[in-house]
Structure 1
Amino acid sequence: MIDPRRLRVLRAVADHRTVTAAAAALYLTPSAVSQQLAALEQETGHALLARSGRGVRLTAAGEILLRHTHEVLAQLERAEAELAAHAGGAAGEVTVAAFASGIAEVLAPVIARLALDHPGIRLRVRDAEGDESLPLVLDGAADVALAVEYRGAPGADDPRLSRVALYSEPFDAVLPASHPLSMVPSVALADLSDSDWIGPYPGNPCHDVMVLACELAGFQPRLVHSSDDFRAVVALAGGGAGVALVPRSALRGMALKDTVVRPVAGQPPTRRVFAAVRRGSVGHPLLRPVLEALQREAAGLSTD
């Protein structure tokens, strides 16, 4: 009989590619993870992992078991959701991992809404960039992720997650007030090819959006200044340090001293935001009201 707790360990190792990283995600020691994997190999009678450089990879048998692992863990999530619904009432804590502007624009109002409509549900918020929140959900450190599309993100058909589309928004160009293009009604990215750029660090999904948009416009942005805090990005632009692309919602209520904000000409780069939970848990009586509240709050933000 295969212990489903060991299947969670197998999936964590498959996701993180090293025993050490999987152990950190599961709040276990590396030796404990190794012991769980050894026991799982004994239960199945197959070698499930092989060394690959400094990490590990799944064997063919491991890949087969991983496919079933996704189904088993999703079914367990559904069982927990049905049992919770059978018990009646929605009371408990839900951890939501979200990026800063998503917290400000969507999550904070949702907390106020849930306090009135579902006073038994308490939200616990974790600040996490768009590419950090999904691993937190998969590892069980968060229940809901507020995430953005990015290169390498799990797709809508990923067997580990269920996604709910929330909103999409364009990136606007932020220029120093002294910039030669500050007076034009909209900015073509190609016209900024000679400018210094300010943007998030590599790994941040918004960095990917910036680089891809510039590549499509025919150039590589000369990234001189880096910050994941859009307030800092805008302040640097105001100081004349360079130009930037910033999601429109991140600019709301922000001091725009010595800067101008212009829409991007043509088809602007876009940030698509969604909520994600572990597959099988959508119907959980604690999570369903949270997802519905996120959808209602986000309904007025989309610009598509």
Structure 2
Amino acid sequence: MIDARRLRTLRAVADHRTVTAAAAALYLTPSAVSQQLAALELETGHELLTRDGRGVRLTAAGEILVGHADAVLTQLERAEADLAAYAAGARGVVTVASFATGIALVLAPAIATLAGAAPGVRLKVLDAEGDASLPMLLDGQADLAVAVEYRGAPRADDRRLARVPLYAEPFDAVLPTGHPLAARPGPLAVAELAAEPWIGPYPGNPCHDVVLLACEHAGFTPRLEHSSDDFRAVVALASAGAGVALVPRSALRGVDLAGVAVRPVESEPATRKVFAAVRSGAERHPLIRPVLAALREAAARLAAEPDAAPVLTATHS
């Protein structure tokens, strides 16, 4: 009989591509991971991994088994959820990984909601970059992720995850006040900024992907001369005349905008889509259900706020 723990190990190696990285994610030693994989190959009678440069990749048999592993691990999550429901286990800690703006806009309000609606549920919040929360979820370091769409993210139809759309927000152009387009009425076309020096997040940050996609959609590659993941720094650089930027609208709340002009842009790709995700099957867990409900409620209130209506809009499946 195939050991489910070894399937989880194989899944981690398939995700991380090296035994060392998988071991770190699973809080095991590389030796223990190698032993589990060797035992799994003996159980199945097939070679599951092969060397690929400095890492490893799945063999054809490994690909087949990982496909089944996703289904098995999902079913185990459901079994744990059903047992917890049977035990009326609506008391405990849910670890949530989220990027900073998601914490401010929906996660903190959800905590306030849970205090009244589900006082037995306590959240442990981990501040994680938008591209880090999903790997943390899949590796078991978090029970729930508040994440954004980005290149390289698990697909929306990935069977390992159950998603709940929360909100979407546009990116705005941030220009020095002396820029020729700063005072012109109406939205800007991203293509009008093609010749400018740009300020933006580092590669790997999902907002970097949104900026690149919006510029590609407009027919050019931005000349990124300055990089920062701190949008206050991005605005300060724009204020100093160092370049232009596209910034998520909510990230400009509370930022000193003296010296810059903030303008809407005509670009559908310049949008940040935010969602909650749990491992498939876990959405039924009695600790997870009220958290997802509180996040939905916080997102709905956000979209309904009169002063925020032009800023954020609810998303739908």
Range class of TM-score, shorter chain: over 0.9
232-241 vs 171-180, which deviates more?
232-241
Please tell me whether the aligned partners of residues 171 and 268 of structure 1 are also in contact (alpha carbons under 8 angstroms): no
Secondary structure of the structure 2 residue equivalent to 1:107:
helix
| Structure 1 residues 173-192: aligned runs within 5 Å | 173-185=173-185, 186-192=187-193
Secondary structure of the structure 2 residue equivalent to 1:112:
helix
Q: CA RMSD in A?
A: 1.2
Instruction: Give deviations 1:5-57, integer Å, cap 9, x for gaps.
Output: 11110000000111111111111111111011011111111111011111111
* Amino acid in structure 2 at the alignment position of 1:280: G
Please tell me whether the aligned partners of residues 213 and 269 of structure 2 are also in contact (alpha carbons under 8 angstroms): no
Give the whole-Å Cα distance in 2 for the aligned partners of 1:56 and 1:258: 51
Are 1:247 and 2:248 counterparts? Answer: yes
Instruction: Give deviations 1:119-152, integer Å, cap 9, x for gaps.
Output: 1111111111111110000000001111111122
Structure 2 counterpart of 1:3: 3
* Count of paired positions: 304
Structure 2 counterpart of 1:281: 282
| Structure 1 residues 13-28: aligned runs within 5 Å | 13-28=13-28
Please tell me whether the aligned partners of residues 199 and 228 of structure 1 are also in contact (alpha carbons under 8 angstroms): yes
Give the whole-Å Cα distance in 2 for the aligned partners of 1:268 and 1:4: 41
Instruction: Give deviations 1:221-277, integer Å, cap 9, x for gaps.
Output: 110111111122112212221111111111122221211110003546111111110
Structure 2 counterpart of 1:236: 237
Please tell me whether the aligned partners of residues 99 and 130 of structure 1 are also in contact (alpha carbons under 8 angstroms): yes
Give the whole-Å Cα distance in 1 for the aligned partners of 2:230 and 2:119: 32
Structure 2 counterpart of 1:303: 313
Give the whole-Å Cα distance in 1 for the aligned partners of 2:209 and 2:294: 29
Structure 2 counterpart of 1:88: 88
119-128 vs 262-271, which deviates more?
262-271
Structure 2 counterpart of 1:216: 217
Give the whole-Å Cα distance in 2 for the aligned partners of 1:103 and 1:271: 15
Give the whole-Å Cα distance in 2 for the aligned partners of 1:282 and 1:15: 22
Query: Structure 1: where are the runs of 5+ without partners?
Result: none
Secondary structure of the structure 2 residue equivalent to 1:171:
strand
210-219 vs 286-295, which deviates more?
210-219
Give the whole-Å Cα distance in 2 for the aligned partners of 1:211 and 1:245: 10
Please tell me whether the aligned partners of residues 19 and 33 of structure 1 are also in contact (alpha carbons under 8 angstroms): yes
Give the whole-Å Cα distance in 1 for the aligned partners of 2:29 and 2:184: 58
Offset, 1:170: 0.7
Instruction: Give deviations 1:95-119, integer Å, cap 9, x for gaps.
Output: 1111111111111111111112111
* Structure 1 runs (4+) greater than 3 angstroms displaced: none
Identity level (%): 73
Instruction: Give deviations 1:191-220, integer Å, cap 9, x for gaps.
Output: 111211111101111101101111221211
Offset, 1:68: 0.9
Structure 2 counterpart of 1:61: 61
Give the whole-Å Cα distance in 2 for the aligned partners of 1:118 and 1:202: 39
Secondary structure of the structure 1 residue equivalent to 2:124:
strand
| Structure 1 residues 53-202: aligned runs within 5 Å | 53-185=53-185, 186-202=187-203
* Amino acid in structure 1 at the alignment position of 2:199: I
Give the whole-Å Cα distance in 1 for the aligned partners of 2:48 and 2:150: 30
Please tell me whether the aligned partners of residues 6 and 36 of structure 1 are also in contact (alpha carbons under 8 angstroms): yes
Structure 2 counterpart of 1:292: 293
TM normalised by structure 1 equals 0.97
Please tell me whether the aligned partners of residues 2 and 40 of structure 2 are also in contact (alpha carbons under 8 angstroms): yes
